[in-house]
Chain A
Amino acid sequence: MDRSMILLRKLHKWFGLAIGLQVAIWMLSGLMMGLLEHEKVQGHNNLAHHIPVPIQAAETALIGPGAVISQLPDDVAVEGLKLQRLIGRPVYRVATSTETRLFDASTGSAIEIDASIARDVANRDYAGTGQITSITEVQAPSMEVRRHKGKVWRVDFDDADETSIYVSGQDGAVLERRNSTWRLFDIFWMLHIMDYQNREDFNNALAIIFALSATWLSITGVILLFNSFNKSEFLGLLPGQFGRRLASVTVHAPHGEVISRLSATAGSTLYDELAKEDIVLPSNCGGGGTCGLCVVELEPSSPETAADRARLAEHERQSGARLSCQARVIDGMQVGIPGEVLAAETLECTVAHTRLLTPHIREIVLKSDDKHFSYRAGAFVHVIMPPHEIRFDESPTASSIQQIWPGYNGGSTSRSKDEIRRAYSLALPCDESAGQIVLNVRFMPPPDESVRDAGVGSGFMWNLKDGDALQVVGPLGDFHATDNDAHMIVIGGGAGMAPLRAIIRDQLQQSGSSRRIEFWYGARGEDDLFYVDEFNELQDRYERFRWHVVLSGNRVDSNWSGATGFVHEQVRKSVLLDTNRYRDFEYYICGPPPMLAATRQLLTEFGVPATQVFFDDFGI
C-alpha cells in the first residue's frame, strides 16, 4: 500500500464519519421506498374507475359560455372555460387569473363546493370498503396538499389505510389521495431528499453538500476496493486447494518458542492467516493498515509498506516490526508475535504441593484462582519469574540438588536480573486436573565446571515451596492430538513426558476416542523413570494402549528385561520395520533436542508425511 492509498483511506474514513449516517439513511429510505407499493402510495388501490358518461346536447338545456362569463367582473381575464361533469351534472369550470369557479351549465348559477359536494366527490372517487368519518376544511398548502392553494376539503375514511381524499374547494376536483402508506413513504422521501421542512425541494444546500460528499466517499471507496483485495482472497472462495500455493509459516512467541506451524495461502494477508489459527492480533482499523496495532516481527529484510513507515519507527522496522495486515504470506516465513496476543490469560497461582518424581524431575502442582482455566491436552504455560537470586543451600530441594550436581557447593546460586518466562507443559489433561496446573520440571545443572550458576528457570522452579505465589500465562502451544482415529505412536524422553502423558490420558479416558496408542519412552536408567505404575495400570485397563520403556544409559541394571538403546532406534525396529502400515500412523514426539531431531529425521527417511508428525521442541 503506498502513501496515496493511506491518504485515500483516511479521507474515506473521515468522509464516512461526516456523512456515513446519512448514507445509511439514504440506503434505508431508498429500500423502504422500493418496498412500499407505488400503487398504494398513490392511493390507486382504492381508486374507482367510472365509464365516462358523454355530455349530450339533448340531455339538458345548456346555456352558452357568455351567460357564465357575464357573471364575472369585467376586468377579469379568462384563461379557460371547460364544460365538464361534476358528480353527473354538466358544469362550466371557469379559470381566471385569480381563481377557478364552477357554474351550473343549465342554470348558470355559481356552484359553491360545500362539504356535501365534497362528500359526493370523494365517495365517487373511492372504491375501498371504508366509510367517511369526517369532512374538514383545510387551507392549502399544508403537508398533505402541499402542491395546491386555497380552500380544500379533507374527507377521511375509516378504512385500514386511513385514507384521506382531498377535494378542491374551488372546482371539486380530487387533488390528492393520501393514506398511511403514503404517509410512511413521505417520511422516507423527506429523509431521502433532506428537505425536512416542506419535503418537496431536493435542490437544497444540505442535500447538495451531502450528495457531493457521498460521491467522493464512493469514489474513494471504489478505488480502495481495488487495493483491498488480493488474488488469494478470491481463490479462498473456491473449493479445495484450487489455484492456491501453500506456504509454511512458523509462529514464535516473544521468547522464541514455536507456538504454531501453519500452512497458509501464499500471497494472502498474514493477519488473516494468523487469525485462522486463532492467533488474533489486535486491530481497530480491521486490517486497513491505519491503526498500527497488529504488529508482528518478521525478518528485518522483509518488504516495508508505506503503512509500516507511517506507524512504525525506523528502529522497529529495522528489527523486523511490520503490520501483519499489510504483510503477505511467503513460504518459510518466521513470525514473532507479541505475548499478549496469545490466546492466553495470566493466572495468579500458588504452589499446592511438590514432589520429586526422579532425582532430576520435580513435579510441581499449582492451584489457580481461576475456576475457568481450560486447555487442550498438550498445551504449555509460561511461568513468569521475577528477578531473583537463589542460594540453593536455602532451597527446600537442597539435598536432592546436591546429589545430581557434581560441582555443587554451599554457595551455588541461580539468578536473573530481569523478569523471565519459561515454558512448561501441562502434565495432566484439563478434565483430570481438578483445576490444578501440574508441571514436570527437570533440574539443569551447569553444563560444565566453568559455569557457576544453575539454569535460571529450573533453579527458580526447584526453589518453590508450598504456598508460594507466582504468575502463569497460558494455555499456549499447538501440540495436540488430532481428532481422527489414526494409530498413535507416542515417542518421548525426559521431562518430555509431561505433554505426552496429558495427551495419552486424554485420548484414553476423556476424548471418547478408540484409537490405538503405543507409547515409547526413552530414559537413561530405571531411576529416571516416573509415572511407571500409572502407565502400567493404563496398559492393564486399556487393551488399545501399550507402553514400552527403552533405557539408553550405561547404568542399566543387568536384570532389566526391557529394550535398550536409543528410543528412536527401538521405534525403527519395532514400528517402522515391523509393519508397512506405519505411513498411516501419527507420531507425537517430545523430548530432549537430540532425541527429537533424530526421531524426526528417522521418520522423514521412512517417508512418513510431515502432516502426520507432531512435536513439541521445548517442553523439557
Chain B
Amino acid sequence: MNTPVFSRKTHKWLTLVIGAQALLWMVSGAYMVTMDLDFIHGDPLVRNLVENVEADFNELYPIGDVLAGYDDAKSVDLVSRLGEPYYVVDAESGSVLLDARNGAKRSPIAETHVIRLAEHYYAGSGSVNGVRLLTVDDPSPTEIQTRPLPLWQVSFDDNIRTTFYLSPSTGELITRRHTFWRGFDFLWMLHIMDYENRSDVNNNLLRVASAIGLLTALSGLWLLVFSLRRHRPAIDHAPGGPPPHGSFDDSAPKTT
C-alpha cells in the first residue's frame, strides 16, 4: 500500500471508531468556550451573598455561651442574613443557625423563611414558583452533584429555569442551577465521558478514546501532508477551457 493510501485508510477507520465521540468533543467544547463561564456559574442571578454585619458587636449574645451549648463546635461564624446577625455553628453533629442577639435557635429554617432568603439572594426577574425540602430520604438530584441532603430546593419561573439550593441549617445559598448550566453539565459529561458521576476525568474510557482521537488527528495530518502535494489540475468545464491533457496510454497495437 502506498503511504497516502495507508494514511487515508488509517484516518478513515479510526474515524469510524471515534468519529461520533470526536464530534461530541468538538460540539461540547464549542459550547463550553462560547458560553461565558460566569453566566454558567449563575453569577448574574445572585446578589446579597455576603452582607455587612450591622450590629453592636458588644451587645451580641456571648460567643462563649454559644460554645457552651455545642461542645463539638469546629467554628462559629458571625454572618448577616436579611440584615439580622446570626451565628452559624459548624459542629460535628451538624450546623445550626442561632440568632446572634439572643442565642435562639433558628434552624432548621422554615419554608416561609427560605422563600424570603431565596428572593433576597435572587437577582433575576422571575419569582418563586416552587419550594421543596429534599430530605436525606429523597433521591439526590444529579445537578447538586455530591452535596449532602437535606437541602431546600427553590425554583423560579424565569426563562432559564433557575433553581436555588439552600441549606436548611444555615440559610446559606449552597448552589444555583439554570438551563444553560444544565446544558453545560450534560455536555461536560459527554466531554469527559464519565456518564455516571460527570466528574471523573481519569476514567479508562476517556483515556482510550482520547488516545484513538490523537491517532485520528495525527493520521489526518499525515494524510494532509500528501494531499497538498502534486495533483492533477482540476478541469475547467467552461467551453473554450485549456487544452486537454494527454492520456497516459499511447495505445500501440499489439504486434510481435
Q: Report which A residues bind B (CB closer than 8 A).
A: 13, 16-17, 20-21, 23-24, 26-28, 30-31, 33-38, 52, 54-57, 62, 64-66, 68-70, 77-85, 97, 193, 201-204, 207-208, 211-212, 214-215, 217-219, 221-222, 225, 228-229, 254-257, 271-272, 275, 280, 282-288, 290-293, 295, 297, 309-316, 319, 321, 336, 338-339, 418, 420-422, 442, 444, 455-458, 618, 620
Contacts and interface: CB of A to CB of B under 8 A. Distances in A.
Contacts of A82: 75-78
B75 A55 contact: yes
Contacts of B70: 54
Nearest to B88: A82
9 contacts: A27-B216, A68-B57, A77-B52, A79-B51, A84-B74, A84-B75, A212-B34, A285-B4, A311-B232
* Residue of A37, A255, A280, A310 with most partner-chain B CB within 10 A: A255
Contacts of B203: 34
A52 B73 CA distance: 9
A83 B76 contact: yes
A222 B19 contact: yes
A81 B19 CA distance: 54
Instruction: List the 7 shortest-distance A-B pairs measured between CB atoms, nearest first.
Output: A286-B8, A292-B232, A313-B244, A66-B58, A291-B231, A286-B4, A27-B214
A243 to B, nearest CB: 18
Nearest to B18: A27
B111 to A, nearest CB: 26
A275 B77 contact: no
A479 to B, nearest CB: 17
A165 to B, nearest CB: 21
A202 B67 CA distance: 45
B189 interface: no
Given A20-B221, A284-B226, A287-B5, A211 B50 contact: no
B74 A38 contact: no
Interface stretch (B25-33, B121-129, B145-153): B25-33
A288 B76 CA distance: 70
Contacts of B9: 286-287
Contact of A80 (B5, B29, B53, B217): B53
Contact of B214 (A17, A24, A229, A618): A24
B232 A288 contact: no
B57 A66 contact: yes
A211 B231 contact: no
Given A13-B224, A222-B19, A315-B244, A284 B7 contact: no
Nearest to B217: A24
Contacts of A312: 232, 235
Contacts of A620: 256
Contacts of A83: 63, 75-77
B255 A56 contact: no
Contacts of B75: 55, 82-85
B68 interface: yes
B247 A285 contact: no
A620 B256 CA distance: 8
B238 interface: no
B205 to A, nearest CB: 9
Nearest to B227: A285
A221 B2 contact: no
A203 B64 contact: no
Given A65-B57, A65-B60, A418-B252, A316 B245 contact: yes
Main secondary structure of the interface of A (DSSP, over half): mixed
B230 A52 contact: no
A52 B184 CA distance: 36
B160 interface: no
A459 B230 CA distance: 41
Contacts of A204: 33
A208 B32 CA distance: 9
Contact of B254 (A16, A80, A256): A256
B7 A316 contact: no
Given A34-B207, A215-B27, A78 B234 contact: no
Given A80-B78, A286-B4, A291-B231, A34 B63 contact: no
Contacts of A217: 26
B137 interface: no
Contacts of A311: 231-232, 234-235
- Of A36, A52, A70, chain B has the most CB atoms within 10 Å of the CB of A52
Contacts of A33: 201
A285 B231 CA distance: 8
Interface in B195-219: 200-203, 206-207, 210-211, 213-214, 216-218
Nearest to A216: B26
A242 B107 CA distance: 73
Contacts of B97: none
Contacts of B65: 57
A295 B29 CA distance: 41
A288 B220 CA distance: 12
B15 interface: yes
Given A211-B34, A311-B235, A286 B23 contact: no
Contacts of B63: 62, 64-65, 83
A203 B2 contact: no
A275 B1 contact: yes
B16 interface: yes
Contact of B210 (A30, A271, A283): A30
B248 to A, nearest CB: 4
Nearest to B203: A34
A283 B53 contact: no
Contacts of B82: none
Contact of A286 (B7, B232, B248, B250): B7
Contacts of B51: 79
B239 to A, nearest CB: 11
Interface string B85-108: 000000110000000000000000
